[in-house]
């Protein structure tokens, strides 16, 4: 679109004389901004001379421009805010139903302050928020829906750049996916983790200690009253899970990808420095608009490789695999499931955080956060990868200190060798499956045992504590019907609680196999994301009680030890389960969701559609 400067014009607003440049916008005349009202607004175009996108709304000198400006002014915005300065959307996932994000109004206010300071015009807008702790049947079901909400909200409204306020697990991927499909300048400000939990003088971590304590109750080691007392001791401040669960992992992924400012991931939610970072983010997004620094310039193949390696080093969530694959699908970067094994599995675990270690996110920040991890990874990182602050990853981390080597280890002194996510294949998972060795029991990473099969989650809950259940310490627990289509939404139920009778014998882990996900806060020898899923006739659907299953992580093998002839017979007899949704979004999801090895996005959402809107609204 040509930016043709035609003349100078003047208009009066409340006694202030404003000189503005008239430019041609799609065949119509737009004001590109005053030359003397604000020294920071000397040039209301991008650095390349192209008028800002928002001038196609607020700069029009006709009926449509009147409509766009006049109704906005009912909020008390001064006339000079519509003078062509960068309009910054603040995409807010605040909700009292999403406790991890309940403090986001305060963060949004700090972002706005930064935008104003840099000469921009901030406009906050809501999108559906996803809370892992309350939303049924699973927040993952709605990740793609929220990405659509974000994408269309950005594209359809007058904004030149956007700040994404992310916190609870699926809010980060959904917002990044939606913004990536528009490809405007965008920056993530994460909400930060809660303060460390503490119960009777001992540190406890979100999720991780829910699983340990609930198992202790079922084993008779802890009273139900004590279990209830721990609730408030675990969640004692604003913020998301303070373990290396999915929320913390995705905040780290944002920083490793270059989509967040340095230290975005680890500053606690209630630390004053979280608000400083938010304000700095507001300033920076205005500069990014000027520089035309779009998401597509940051989310390159090198950025994804950096993120995969950081995820291995921090003991990050298996959910990061799904979300990074989905990110790549939106920006057109070739990324495959096997990349996570090839780039990450042989890396050591460097960060001693629950569930793979003992510390928590507050400790991680004090120790140096993601910059210290990136520096420790050294030549494994693409240091020339661009980040949102305009510097490279190498420039951001060249002098990053590590203040506590017990929390962030060096490559020479790792917590565990070869601890990254492993991708398994075999006749049980021809499309792949995942296991997280850093959270597993080492002796079970090579195991063969008889299957104890649960047809669905209801069957599991009904029978798991039945004294007659034919299960022992060598069994392999198998759960069907928990994949993207089958549940629907692929819930975090893969870390099935162990049968009570085994817990009472002191058994704390079994091999578990499913097409489900598990919380990043969880642990155990849990094989996840089995693809194809059982609901569409994957081999998992054919497993029967007593079948032997072989797991060999070193050989990347997941095998159902049943003859091909027998599997063929079973397949002929198999009947697909009836769909669980007859209409609405859930039906749309079931009909279009991709399998886990492709990121579980909706097939029609792949790719970047850009931010252009060809038609006016009136």
Query: For the segment 109-150, what is each residue's pLDDT rounded down to a tens digit?
Result: 999 999 999 999 999 999 999 999 999 999 999 999 999 999
Q: Which of 45, 82, 41 is nearest to 61 (CA)?
A: 82
**Hey, what domains does the chain have and what are their CATH numbers?**
7-82 (no CATH), 87-195+237-397 (3.40.50.2300), 198-230 (no CATH), 422-579 (3.50.30.80)
pLDDT of residue 22: 53
Which residue from 436, 429, 459 is spatially nearest to 545, judged by alpha carbons? 459
Write out pLDDT tens, residues 56-93: 999 999 999 999 999 999 999 999 999 999 999 999 99
Cα–Cα distances (Å) from 486 to 341, 449, 580, in that order, read 26, 25, 8
Question: In this model, does residue 3 exceed pLDDT 60?
Answer: no
Res. 500: pLDDT tops 50? yes
Least Cα distance to 253 among 320, 160, 194, 342 occurs for 320
Q: How far apart are CA 432 and CA 312, in angstroms?
A: 18
B/e letters for 397-418, b = 16+ CB within 10 Å, e = fewer, are beebebeeeebbbeeeebbbeb
pLDDT band at 614 (very low <50, low <70, confident <90, very high): confident
Is residue 12 scored above 50 in pLDDT? no
CA gap 288, 267 in Å, rounded: 23
Looking at residue 29, what is its pLDDT? Answer: 56
Cα separation, 59 vs 65, in Å, equals 6
Q: Is 15 exposed, middle or buried (0-12, 13-18, 19+ CB in 10 A)?
A: exposed
Helices and strands per DSSP (H, E), number in the chain: 19, 17
What is the pLDDT at residue 46? 80
Residue 4 or 64, more confident: 64
Binned at pLDDT 50, 70 and 90, residue 45 comes out as confident
Peptide bond connecting 85 to the previous residue in cis, omega within 30 degrees of 0: no
Contact present, 172 and 166 (Cβ < 8 Å): yes
Segment 276-310, tens digit of pLDDT: 999 999 999 999 999 999 999 999 999 999 999 99
561 exposure class (CB count in 10 Å sphere: 0-12, 13-18, 19+): middle
Name which of 227, 198, 200, 202 is nearest 212 in CA terms: 227
The helix (run of H) or strand (run of E) holding residue 125 is strand 121-126
Query: Tokens 């080093």 appear where?
Result: 313
Mean pLDDT score, 510-520: 97
pLDDT digits (tens, 9 = 90+) for 242-288: 999 999 999 999 999 999 999 999 999 999 999 999 999 999 999 99
- CA-based nearest residue to 2, from 32, 26, 28, 33: 26
Assess contact for 187 and 164: CB atoms under 8 A.
Answer: yes
Average pLDDT, the chain: 93
Q: What confidence tens digit (pLDDT) does each residue in 593-603 have?
A: 999 999 999 99
pLDDT exceeds cutoff 80 at 18: no
Q: Using 50, 70 and 90 to split pLDDT, how confident is the model at 582?
A: confident
- Exposed e or buried b for every residue in 170-201, given b needs 16+ CB within 10 A? bbbbbbbbbbbbbbbbbbbbbbbbbbbbebee
Rounded Cα–Cα distance for residues 166 and 297 (Å): 21
């Amino acid at each position: 679109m040509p930016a043709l400067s035609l003349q100078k014009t003047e208009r009066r607003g409340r006694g202030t004389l404003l000189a503005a440049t008239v430019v041609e916008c799609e065949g119509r005349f737009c004001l590109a901004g005053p030359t003397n009202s604000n020294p920071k607004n000397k040039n209301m175009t991008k650095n390349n001379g192209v008028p800002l996108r928002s001038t196609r709304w607020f700069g029009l000198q006709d009926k449509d421009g009147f409509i766009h400006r006049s109704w906005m002014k009912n909020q008390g915005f001064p006339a000079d805010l519509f003078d062509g300065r960068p309009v910054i959307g603040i995409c807010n996932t605040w909700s009292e139903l999403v406790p991890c994000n309940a403090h986001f109004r305060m963060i949004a206010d700090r972002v706005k302050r930064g935008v104003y300071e840099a000469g921009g015009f901030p406009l906050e807008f809501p999108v559906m928020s996803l809370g892992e702790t309350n939303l049924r049947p699973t927040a993952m079901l709605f990740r793609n829906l929220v990405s659509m909400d974000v994408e269309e909200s950005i594209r359809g409204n007058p904004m030149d750049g956007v700040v994404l306020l992310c916190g609870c697990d699926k809010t980060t991927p959904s917002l990044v996916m939606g913004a990536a499909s528009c490809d405007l300048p965008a920056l993530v400000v994460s909400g930060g983790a809660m303060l460390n939990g503490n119960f009777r003088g001992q540190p406890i971590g979100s999720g991780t200690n829910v699983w340990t304590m609930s198992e202790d109750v079922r084993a008779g080691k802890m009273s139900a009253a004590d279990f209830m007392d721990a609730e408030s001791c675990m969640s004692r401040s604003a913020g998301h899970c303070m373990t290396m669960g999915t929320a913390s992992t995705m905040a780290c992924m944002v920083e490793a990808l270059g989509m967040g400012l340095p230290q975005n991931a680890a500053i606690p939610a209630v630390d004053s420095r979280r608000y400083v970072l938010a304000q700095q983010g507001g300033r920076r997004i205005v500069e990014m608009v000027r520089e035309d620094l779009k998401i597509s310039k940051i989310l390159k193949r090198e950025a994804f490789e950096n993120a995969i390696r950081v995820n291995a080093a921090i003991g990050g969530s298996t959910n990061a695999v799904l979300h990074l694959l989905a990110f790549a699908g939106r920006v057109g970067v070739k990324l495959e499931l096997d990349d996570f094994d090839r780039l990450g599995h042989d890396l050591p675990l460097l960060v001693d955080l629950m569930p793979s270690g003992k510390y928590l996110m507050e400790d991680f920040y004090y120790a140096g956060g993601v910059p210290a991890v990136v520096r420790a990874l050294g030549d494994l990182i693409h240091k020339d990868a661009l980040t949102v602050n305009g510097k490279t990853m190498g420039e951001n981390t060249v002098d990053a200190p590590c203040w506590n080597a017990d929390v962030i280890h060096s490559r020479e002194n790792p917590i565990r060798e070869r601890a990254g996510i492993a991708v398994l294949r075999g006749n049980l998972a021809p499309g792949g499956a995942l296991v997280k060795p850093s959270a597993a029991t080492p002796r079970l990473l090579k195991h063969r045992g008889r299957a104890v099969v649960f047809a669905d989650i209801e069957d599991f809950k009904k029978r798991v504590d039945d004294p007659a259940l034919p299960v022992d310490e060598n069994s392999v627990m198998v759960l069907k019907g928990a994949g993207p289509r089958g549940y629907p939404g692929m819930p975090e139920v893969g870390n099935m609680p162990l049968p009570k009778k085994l817990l009472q014998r002191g058994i704390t882990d079994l091999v578990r196999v499913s097409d489900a996900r598990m919380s990043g806060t969880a642990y155990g020898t849990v094989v996840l994301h089995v693809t194809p899923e059982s609901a569409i006739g994957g081999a998992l659907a054919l497993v029967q009680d007593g079948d032997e299953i072989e797991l060999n992580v070193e050989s990347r093998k997941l095998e159902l030890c049943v003859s091909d002839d027998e599997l063929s017979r079973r397949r002929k007899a198999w009947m697909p389960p009836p769909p669980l949704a007859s209409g609405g979004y859930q039906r749309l999801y079931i009909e279009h969701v991709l399998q886990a090895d492709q990121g579980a996005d909706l097939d029609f959402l792949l790719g970047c559609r850009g931010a252009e809107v060809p038609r006016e609204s009136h």
